[in-house]
Structure 1
Amino acid sequence: MASIDKIAWLHLRDGQLLSTRSHGKNRYYIPGGKREAGETDHQTLLREISEELTVALDPASLEHAGTWEAPAHGHPAGVLVRMTCYRATYTGELQPAAEIAEVVWLTFRHREQVSAVDQLIFDWLREQGLLAD
């Protein structure tokens, strides 16, 4: 089965999760992206977040939060996305850049507006008491 390896940043504030919408897309996605050849999880995340949100994650603060798998949104049946998530602090001002059209803060009520793998993460965050209803 084909899979997409994605690294993502879980950033919560006041019970809301930072999320993004790319140009031309109708779903929100947790910020991050696919690794380039030879990159580690940390290198991928630092690069992707800098490119997409114009902020710098603090490498010393990176903390693995979990890994989830679900059918990939917008791909043929049978394609899975495997998303490895990290928490981290950052410096700078969050702004959409590159393919990102919009930066938003979501709560559990927005669950139907995100991809399948993000829905699993929303469920987990809610179970942990981290994501507001």
Structure 2
Amino acid sequence: MIIKKQVYSADKKANPLIGILLFLISIILFLATAPIGFVFGLFHSIYKKGIIGIGEYLLKMAISIDQLGNVAMQHFLNVFWIKKSGYKFGNRDETISSALGRNNKLGTLTFLGKFIDNLLNLIDKDHSLNSIDYYIEPTPEVLDLLSWIHIIDLEVLILFDKNKGTFSLPGGGKIKGKPDATVLHWHIKEKLNIDLEIPNMEYLGIFEAQTASKKPVLIDRKTCYSANYTGIITPDPLNTEVVWLNYSDREKLSEVDKLIFDFLKESEYIH
């Protein structure tokens, strides 16, 4: 079974007056109830797990505060911590550290952003890079894709686009509200005319790298799965060719597919 994190997104534009009213109500309720809840949470954590329970409880609190800060401080952070071409702060499902890590990878931190990043690294090595959250609410800056990994004799099945002259792993874009397995099955059926066996589909990982796509996209994110299939692989002969690449062919690929090849080599799937 493939479990997806569900996120809330508004179906229509919010009424600004309603937004202000709900904000004030939430602040009042927080001030009235949070102290009691916090004290109760500390005692409950001690009772259940002792000092370990307190550590786990406070870590959850720290992450939630970090997410709140990412929204509350987004305009300040976007002006002073990153360049105009950077990955924007402000996703309510993401921490400040995660957005900082993405800009670290993209090389879009300003002098102040680099200073903060280095300061965090002194406290916790590679803090921002290790904080990148791949399960955040989708944004226009992230191209969310699915890929099928199929390996035979230490070589990976790759699609060559005859029109663009590019190599890529077979797959396609995610579809909101649809399971990964179902959507990937559709993409592979369309591109290769085979049926992936969904019950034995295995999750391999999520990978991110700088994109070659046009703005506003900055990052390609690929969620990868392996699976057996039925049928005969038959790509569209006019537009697509199936090729088999090994690790020595890594430079032919996009940045995100290079990372996937690195993972496959480190995991000894390919050489």
TM-score of the superposed pair, with normalisation by structure 2: 0.46
Is 1:55 the counterpart of 2:194 in the alignment? yes
CA–CA separation in structure 1 for the residues paired with 2:160 and 2:214: 17
Distance 1:21 1:97 in 2: 11
Note the C-alpha offset of 1:98.
8.9
Residue 67 and residue 100 in structure 1: after superposition, are their counterparts in 2 closer, same or farther (change >3 A)? farther
Find out whether 1:18 has 2:157 as its counterpart: yes
Per the TM alignment, residue 22 of structure 1 is displaced from its structure 2 partner at its CA by 2.1
More helix by share: 2
**Which of 195, 199, 207 does residue 68 from structure 1 map onto?**
207
The residue number in structure 1 matching 2:7 is none
Distance in 2 between residues matched to 1:78 and 1:38, nearest whole Å: 21
More displaced 10-residue stretch of structure 1: 37-46 or 84-93: 37-46
Q: Which one-letter code corresponds to 1:31 in the other structure? A: P
Amino acid at match of 2:158: S
- CA positional deviation for 1:77: 8.1
CA deviations on 1:108-129 (whole Å, 9 max, x unpaired) are 1110101100000111111111
Pairing 1:1-133 to 2, within 5 Å after superposition: 1=87, 2-76=141-215, 79-97=218-236, 100-132=239-271
Does the 8 A contact of 1:55 with 1:90 survive in 2?
yes
Q: Which runs of 4+ in 1 moved over 2 A?
A: 35-38, 73-78, 97-100
Alpha-carbon distance in 2 for matches of 1:100, 1:35: 22
**C-alpha contact (below 8 Å) 1:20/1:100 kept by paired residues:** no
Verify the 8 A CA contact 1:52 1:98 in the aligned structure 2.
Answer: no
Consecutive unaligned residues of structure 1, counting only runs of 5 or more, are none
- Does the 8 Å contact 2:162/2:239 carry over to 1? yes
Letter in 1 for 2:267: Q
Aligned length: 132
For residues 6-63 of structure 1, the C-alpha deviation after alignment (integer angstroms, 9 at most, x for no partner) is: 0010100000000102241222100000023432211110000000011000011111
Higher relative contact order (CA 8 A, sep 6+): 1
TM-score, scaled to structure 1: 0.91
Between the aligned partners of 1:14 and 1:45, the Cα distance in structure 2 is 23
Per the alignment, do residues 3 and 98 of structure 1 end up closer, same or farther by CA in structure 2, a change over 3 Å counting? farther
What percentage of aligned pairs have identical amino acids? 34
Deviates more, 1:77-86 or 1:57-66: 77-86
Once the two structures are superposed, what CA deviation does each residue of 1:84-108 show, in whole Å capped at 9, x if it has no partner? 0001000111111398511111001
Higher-Rg structure is: 2
Aligned pair in 2 of structure 1 residues 77, 109: CA closer, same or farther (>3 Å)? farther
Structure 2 Cα separation of the partners of residues 53 and 75 of structure 1: 27
Gaps of 5+ in 2: 1-86, 88-140
**Using the alignment, how far apart are the partners of 1:121 and 1:77 within structure 2?**
23
Structure 1: distance between partners of 2:239 and 2:147: 14
